[in-house]
């Protein structure tokens, strides 16, 4: 049994923990910006393949107090690195320090690298580690003088699903899009509409959720090449995920004022294998009529910071409130960085939730 840590965007700890629990994983605990669980390497494969809202799955090698470089060195040297990293494994180091006496990330990286090399050299009775084999990315966090050392089992982050090589100017991260769909409680019943779909992230994630299709079926993971996680573990986890899929059809609608964005969204949906589930159209959200009799609108209209001047965005929110906001039978879930969104939209939200789109503080304004 190992302990795993899944870093996630701030605000997504709850949805991420819920996903892990629904997968049947043990001892799930959410904390600031990350979620822990315990399990074996099959649990690790399951989480990597099926997680929608987490960024990666880290295997925890150990934790200890580290107020000095000596303590950091000795703490790392005491870890059972040879149980995981083979003689030729590559072991680069990255991480972060927060509120700690050790605050220089490059210095900590150097110390951890050196301690790991000494330990592996002792384990394999060699002074020469070629680092020509598979990747064992070491990650560290030093928070309030407590160091934790991890191995990254994921590789390229989990939001890289593989369907979105092309995106518009301000795309939503796939993990956040999946969380919005989850917070809207969309499971494939009724309809879902994104009237500002850009590269199509929200409708595509909605279709994957409706089908219960695991987002990681077609991508590689770092730990697939590790001796402790045999190929069969990954093949079994993929078979299990496929056996849980639902066939559809679903009523998902994606529109955008920009024909180029529309074409890109369609292309991305084709790559994700969900083009048949989504009806695409070019339309202005300020005048568009509802594509179905009831459902949920889930969208991220332009924010002032990145795509339009703030005032233009505020005028757009006003227009949205007069059209989308008055549609009968449609719940609305609108993410925006505008703190006064409700005032411009013309109605107080039923509930608001703080979320981060990358580094931007946003609010999910929920009307239901």
* Residues making contact with ligand SAM (CB under 6 A): 167-168, 170-172, 195-196, 198-199, 201-202, 256-258, 261, 284-286, 300-302, 307
Closest contact distance (angstroms) between CB of 311 and ligand SAM is 14
Let me know: does 354 contact 363? Beta carbons within 8 Å: yes
The CA-atom distances, in angstroms, between 55 and each of 47, 51, 89, 146, 345 are 11, 9, 23, 22, 32
Element (H, E) at 206: helix 201-211
When the beta carbons of 116 and 314 are compared against ligand SAM, the nearer one is 314
When the beta carbons of 116 and 332 are compared against ligand SAM, the nearer one is 332
When the beta carbons of 240 and 258 are compared against ligand SAM, the nearer one is 258
The CA-atom distances, in angstroms, between 113 and each of 30, 68, 187 are 29, 16, 45
Closest contact distance (angstroms) between CB of 254 and ligand SAM is 10
CA–CA dist 100, 71 (Å, integer): 13
Closest contact distance (angstroms) between CB of 142 and ligand SAM is 34
Closest contact distance (angstroms) between CB of 300 and ligand SAM is 5
* 169 CB-contact burial (10 Å; exposed 0-12 / middle 13-18 / buried 19+): exposed
Closest contact distance (angstroms) between CB of 262 and ligand SAM is 9
When the beta carbons of 195 and 295 are compared against ligand SAM, the nearer one is 195
Closest contact distance (angstroms) between CB of 178 and ligand SAM is 11
Residue bearing tokens 């969380």: 179
Q: Which two tokens stand for residue 265?
A: 């969204």
When the beta carbons of 198 and 216 are compared against ligand SAM, the nearer one is 198
* 246 CB-contact burial (10 Å; exposed 0-12 / middle 13-18 / buried 19+): exposed
Closest contact distance (angstroms) between CB of 255 and ligand SAM is 6
When the beta carbons of 135 and 307 are compared against ligand SAM, the nearer one is 307
When the beta carbons of 47 and 172 are compared against ligand SAM, the nearer one is 172
The CA-atom distances, in angstroms, between 158 and each of 53, 173, 176, 227 are 8, 10, 12, 22
When the beta carbons of 249 and 358 are compared against ligand SAM, the nearer one is 358
Quick one: which of 149, 3, 4 has its CA closest to 80?
149
* DSSP-derived secondary structure letter, 262: H
Count of Cβ atoms closer than 10 Å to residue 359 Cβ: 7
Closest contact distance (angstroms) between CB of 159 and ligand SAM is 11
């Amino acid at each position: 049994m190992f302990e795993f840590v899944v870093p996630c965007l701030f605000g997504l700890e709850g949805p991420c923990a819920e996903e892990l629990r629904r997968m049947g994983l043990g001892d799930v605990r959410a904390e600031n910006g990350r979620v822990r669980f315990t399990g074996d390497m099959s649990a690790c494969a399951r989480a990597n393949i099926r997680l929608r809202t987490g960024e990666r799955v880290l295997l925890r090698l150990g934790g200890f107090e580290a107020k000095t470089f000596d303590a950091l060195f000795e703490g790392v040297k005491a870890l059972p690195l040879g149980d995981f990293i083979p003689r030729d494994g590559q072991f680069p180091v990255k991480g972060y320090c927060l509120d700690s006496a050790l605050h220089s990330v490059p210095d900590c990286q150097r110390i951890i690298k050196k301690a790991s090399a000494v330990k592996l050299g002792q384990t394999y009775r060699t002074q020469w580690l070629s680092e020509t084999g598979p990747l064992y990315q070491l990650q560290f966090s030093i928070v309030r003088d407590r160091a934790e050392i991890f191995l990254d089992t994921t590789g390229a982050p989990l939001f890289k699903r593989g369907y979105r090589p092309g995106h518009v100017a301000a795309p939503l991260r796939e993990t956040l899009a999946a969380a919005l769909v989850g917070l809207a409680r969309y499971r494939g019943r009724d309809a879902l509409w994104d009237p500002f779909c850009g590269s199509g992230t929200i409708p595509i994630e909605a279709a994957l959720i409706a089908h219960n299709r695991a987002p990681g079926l077609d991508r590689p993971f770092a730990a697939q090449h590790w001796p402790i996680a045999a190929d069969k573990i990954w093949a079994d986890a993929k078979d299990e995920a496929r056996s849980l899929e639902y066939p559809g059809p679903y009523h998902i609608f994606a529109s955008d004022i920009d024909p180029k964005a529309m074409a890109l969204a369609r292309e991305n949906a084709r790559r994700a294998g969900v083009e048949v589930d989504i009806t695409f159209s070019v339309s202005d959200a300020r005048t568009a009529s509802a594509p179905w009799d009831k459902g949920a609108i889930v969208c991220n209209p332009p924010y002032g910071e990145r795509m339009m001047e703030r005032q233009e965005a505020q005028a757009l929110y006003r227009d949205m409130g007069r059209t989308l906001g008055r549609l009968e039978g449609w719940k609305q879930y609108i993410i925006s960085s505008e703190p006064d969104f409700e005032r411009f939209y013309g109605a107080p939200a039923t509930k608001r939730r703080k979320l981060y789109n990358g580094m931007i503080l946003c609010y999910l304004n929920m009307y239901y």
